[in-house]
A = this chain, B = another copy of it.
């Protein structure tokens, strides 16, 4: 069970080695995550009004390169969930080929006027809506 986001490699995403630049994969993971929010009837944009969901960490393991015009999929599942964080797990594939695997952890934060940012409990209905999309 995973949410699937499909995408094509654009020219500006390649580098002089003729393949997609490694930092671009973190954008692909983020695009897939945001598409998942939209599929849940939510928008990370709205969440951003109150500061939102900064990244705590991100990682990616590269298995095979992507080239210009390749069509690929990002398969997103939920990893570890805590009171205020979600870890998204992503697998990138091009047909049967595994391109790589990564994850990123975001923390739900809020801000009250005159106070510093701090992590805040993820609302139960947000979590339920996201989970429903991932579980298909």
Residues in chain A within 8 A of chain B (CB atoms): 10-12, 14-19, 21-24, 26-27, 30-31, 34, 38, 43-45, 48, 51-52, 54-62, 65, 67-69, 104
How close is A19's CB to chain B, nearest CB, in angstroms? Answer: 8
- Can you list 16 A-B pairs with a CB-CB distance of less than 8 A? A10-B30, A11-B30, A12-B15, A12-B23, A15-B15, A16-B67, A17-B54, A22-B54, A22-B104, A23-B58, A26-B26, A45-B68, A56-B62, A57-B59, A58-B62, A59-B60
Chain B: minimal CB distance from A63 (Å): 9
Q: Are B55 and A58 in contact (CB under 8 A)?
A: no
Minimum Cβ distance to chain B for residue A105 (Å): 9
Instruction: Tell me the nearest residue of chain B to A35, going by C-beta.
Output: B8
Please list the 5 inter-chain residue pairs (A to B) with the smallest Cβ-Cβ separation, ordered nearest first: A59-B59, A23-B26, A14-B16, A22-B55, A57-B61
How many chain copies does the complex carry? 4
CA distance A7 to B52 in the complex (A): 24
What's the Cα separation between A44 and B34 when bound, in Å? 29
CB pair B52–A17 under 8 Å, yes or no, is yes
Min CB gap A18→B, angstroms:
5
A10 touches B27 (CB 8 A): yes
Q: In the complex, are the beta carbons of B11 and A34 less than 8 A apart? A: yes
Point out which of A24, A43, A55 has the most chain B C-beta atoms below 10 A from its C-beta: A55
